[in-house]
Structure 1
Amino acid sequence: MLERYGHGGDLTTAAEAYGRQEDEFVDFSSNMNPLGPPEAVRRELVRYAERIAAYPDPAVRRLRAKLAARYGISEEAILAGNGAAELIDLAVRAFRPGTVALPMPSFGEYADAVRKAGGRIIPVPLRPESDFTLDERAFAEAESASSADMLFIGSPNNPTGRLADPSLILKLAERGGIVIVDEAFIDFVPDEERYTLIREAAVRPNLFVIRSMTKFYAVPGIRLGYMVGSPAGLDRLRGLQIPWSVNSLAQRIGEAVLDDAAFAAETHRWLQREKPRLAGKLKQLGMHVYPSDANYLLARLPEAEGLTAASLQREMGRRGVLIRDASRFDGLDGRYCRFAVKLREHNDRLAAALGECLRLFL
């Protein structure tokens, strides 16, 4: 099992399992931008040698100022963190909800954080027959979901890639309780402004938005994210955050990439070309591919004896191609896989390897 630690992108485990060097794999299990890191990151890495002996700014002021100017919100409405994972954990520990409504399938760290804090999870099932769309019917079917103390919503959701309707989220927030929207992949949406709730979160007492800066800019190793919310609410998280949570290299890289509009435009052009092309190849192989607003695709395997996401993952790994066994997400069975969208030559290698492996079962 490649998802030993609950995530894709674990090249060390893959190398141990399949007897290859880490750099020999093409990794479709992790949803990083294949165009990155942008050149601004490389420049900062060179310059950083002059600053490594100095402590980071504990308040992350320059990065927060740039984000505040970008979105037209107060700097006090922004809390930087050591990746989105830290902010998810801090939110649950700060508000200590007794019950948390979670659409399922969704990112496993929401449930992990809730369980660690002793909270009870109320599943909100997302149905494959409706392409995993989050709607009011899903909440109506979930017992007590509307009265939960906290609600997590991924937009786009992981692993389904579906955006949530902003008007629905605001309606849910008006019922009371804390609503946390994880927008880790929303940078990949060309018309992000239509869907992000950053400005709403900055002025509402119970609405919070989490953003990641590592997926879009392909720098997961530095761990950088931020949360937008009411200053009073963020103070509760800040009181639990360890000092110097965001290191100085992460801060400098975050500041630099925000100015790279050309990289963002190139990323959107790449995804617009390659996502439908990869989806078409997966369909030709007999998979059911669900609509996605993000840089990854959720697919259901054709029925065949012995064919599961786990068995396919093993066969693909032996060929140097890593895919995500999506049955590890609550709410999905053993026939679901998730594929990142990558550069054309890598997508073609994925399709060729998939075709070879599927012939072993079909």
Structure 2
Amino acid sequence: MRHHGDAEVRGAGADLTDLAVNVRAGTPPAWLTARIAASLGTLAAYPDGRAARRAVAARHGLPEECVLLTAGAAEAFVLLARALRATAPAVVHPQFTEPEAALRDAGHTVRRVLLDADDGFRLDPGAVPDAADLVVVGNPTNPTSVLHPAGTLESLAREGRTLVVDEAFMDAVPDERETLAPLVTTLPGRVAVLRSLTKTWGLAGLRVGYVLSDPDTVAALGAHQPLWPVSTPALVAAEACCAPDALAEAARAARQYAADRAHLLARLREFAGVGLRVVEPAEAPFLLVRHPRATALRLRLREAGFALRRGDTFPGLGPEWLRLAVRDRVTTDALAAALAAAGGLARDTPGGA
């Protein structure tokens, strides 16, 4: 469960086109790098997160006490697993594996709710056990690229339950439709929305994200953080990415993702007759595809210079699944040419990978 897309490209060299990691290409932008670099002269002082917290709160129209800054969304999963006294946690799969890994590391027994590929991995609230007092779901979901309706997720909120929605890719959705961020203090029970600055802004190495929730939940999670958990450069980045100009840039990037994804979908559909299937509708900056010889196809594409994410490490998926990031049209067309050149491996033949 601790295999992630970066393992596909680690140490691979510059000649490999990265379709395995879901980070926007060409990031971080120069203006953001300059802001971060300018903060290095203040490193002698301890980090002060107040300005970043105010910026995040203003960005979402919430009080400051509803914001917890974290060292990436991954830290938030650990805090949730340790701070909340859940007795019957449930994780909706396939999705990012760190929430379940963090819960298991904290000693929890986790119930998996497996969504069905034949139903497009859509969430049926009735599949979530009534007894679940902690429910974790991604929206849009990694790796399926499914965007669940906000109303569906709202129906999971109830007294005595904590609903955790991983919205790490929500800023890549035009208008951030279906987000629960504005509702974290109004829905029944506890609701926690997790956000990351990694994907749109290319800050995986900086480790910065945040939790939006009610003040009591934020305080409970914060009590499990060490002192000064988020570095000064990361705090500067969080504040900068919440500024109006940055939000406008993110909105443009989301629209570009949608256009580039449509082109990628169109090119991949050309291979439907030879066994390649794409999960649709897709709303995230990546796609989940299925092929009967996916492992061999992934290795052949790697030889051709493209790194794709294997899917079998996600609960509910098997070796016939692959995830690939949305990139520009030139990259997509080059990928399509490599798929065509894969020849027999792109044919719907029986047998494993």
Fold match, TM over 0.5?
Answer: yes
Equivalences for 1:78-227 in 2 at 5 Å? 78-139=67-128, 145-174=129-158, 176-192=160-176, 194-204=177-187, 205-227=189-211
The one-character-per-residue Cα deviations of 1:100-156 (angstroms, maximum 9, x if unpaired) are 1111211111110111112122121211121111123433xxxxx221121001011
Alignment partner, residue 359 of structure 1 = 344
> SS of 2:226's equivalent?
coil
Alignment partner, residue 258 of structure 1 = 242
The one-character-per-residue Cα deviations of 1:275-294 (angstroms, maximum 9, x if unpaired) are 01101111212321112111
Equivalences for 1:228-307 in 2 at 5 Å? 228-259=212-243, 260-286=246-272, 287-290=276-279, 291-301=281-291, 303=292, 307=293
Please tell me whether residue 25 in structure 1 is matched to residue 16 in structure 2.
Answer: yes
Q: Distance in 2 between matches of 1:72 and 1:336?
A: 39
Alignment partner, residue 47 of structure 2 = 56
Deviates more, 1:68-77 or 1:37-46: 37-46
- Residues 127 and 12 (structure 1 numbering): CA distance in 2 closer, same or farther, change over 3 Å? closer
Q: Which amino acid aligns with 1:246?
A: V
Identity of aligned residues (%): 33
Alignment size in residue pairs: 340
Q: Which amino acid aligns with 2:130?
A: S
Q: Distance in 2 between matches of 1:328 and 1:158?
A: 12
Alignment partner, residue 60 of structure 2 = 71
Cα contact 2:8–2:308 (8 A) shared by 1: no
Please tell me whether residue 8 in structure 1 is matched to residue 5 in structure 2.
Answer: yes
Deviates more, 1:202-211 or 1:125-134: 202-211
Q: Distance in 2 between matches of 1:270 and 1:242?
A: 39
Equivalences for 1:318-337 in 2 at 5 Å? 318-337=303-322
Q: Which amino acid aligns with 1:221?
A: G
- Aligned CA RMSD, in angstroms, stands at 1.9
Q: Distance in 2 between matches of 1:357 and 1:284?
A: 14
> SS of 1:55's equivalent?
coil
The one-character-per-residue Cα deviations of 1:7-60 (angstroms, maximum 9, x if unpaired) are 102366452xxxxx2x22211111111243223312213313322332211xx1
Q: Distance in 2 between matches of 1:163 and 1:207?
A: 18
Cα contact 1:156–1:294 (8 A) shared by 2: yes
Q: Distance in 2 between matches of 1:336 and 1:320?
A: 19
> Structure 1 residue 331: deviation in Å?
0.3
Alignment partner, residue 311 of structure 1 = 296
Deviates more, 1:349-358 or 1:70-79: 349-358
> Structure 1 residue 175: deviation in Å?
5.2
The one-character-per-residue Cα deviations of 1:61-109 (angstroms, maximum 9, x if unpaired) are 1111011112221100100000000001100110132221111211111
Match of 2:37 among 26, 36, 46: 46
Cα contact 2:172–2:251 (8 A) shared by 1: no
Cα contact 2:8–2:309 (8 A) shared by 1: no
| TM-score when normalising by structure 1 | 0.88
- Residues 248 and 26 (structure 1 numbering): CA distance in 2 closer, same or farther, change over 3 Å? same
> What runs of 5+ residues in structure 1 fail to find an aligned partner?
16-20, 140-144
Q: Distance in 2 between matches of 1:11 and 1:361?
A: 21
Q: Which amino acid aligns with 1:316?
A: L
Q: Distance in 2 between matches of 1:267 and 1:148?
A: 37
> SS of 1:132's equivalent?
coil
Q: Distance in 2 between matches of 1:43 and 1:270?
A: 24
